[in-house]
Amino acid sequence: MRIKKDFVLREIAGDYIVIPTGQTVLEFNGLITMNDVGVSLWKMLQEEVTMDNLVAGILEEYEVEEDVAREDIQEFLNKLIESGILVKDEEYAE
C-alpha cells in the first residue's frame, strides 16, 4: 500500500494538510489534517509498505504499546482508503 500520487502533504501555518493535485482537485471533496504521528505514517506510505513496516516505524519513533499502535494505524489507513488517498501498489500508476 502507498499514497496515491495525486495527493501531497503540506505544512500550512503549523498544520499538516493533505492537498489533492491535478484532476483530483475536482474529485476530492474534503479536508484532511494530520498530527505528528499521521505525518510519520504519511512519509512511510510514500513507498510500498506493509502494516508490519508501519507498526515497526511508529514503535521506533514513539512510546506506545504495539497493540494500541496497530489499532490506531489501521484506523488511520481506513480513513485514507475511504477518502481514495491510499491504494495498493499495483494501483499506484492510476
Question: Is 92 a domain residue?
Answer: no
pTM summary value: 0.85
DSSP assignment of 24-49, as one string?
HHHH----EEE-HHHHHHHHHTTS--
Can you count the helices (H) and strands (E) in the chain?
Answer: 4, 5
- In order along its 94 residues, the chain shows pLDDT tens digits of 899 989 999 999 999 999 999 888 888 888 889 999 999 999 999 988 999 999 999 999 999 999 999 999 999 999 999 888 998 755 433 3
In angstroms, the Cα distances linking 24 to 2, 35, 47, 69, 89 are 17, 23, 20, 30, 18
Question: Is 94 a domain residue?
Answer: no
Could you tell me the residue range of the domain that residue 58 belongs to? Answer: 2-87
Question: Is 93 a domain residue?
Answer: no
Question: Is 58 a domain residue?
Answer: yes
Q: For position 16, which CATH number holds?
A: 3.90.930
Q: How many domains does the chain have?
A: 1
Question: Is 51 a domain residue?
Answer: yes
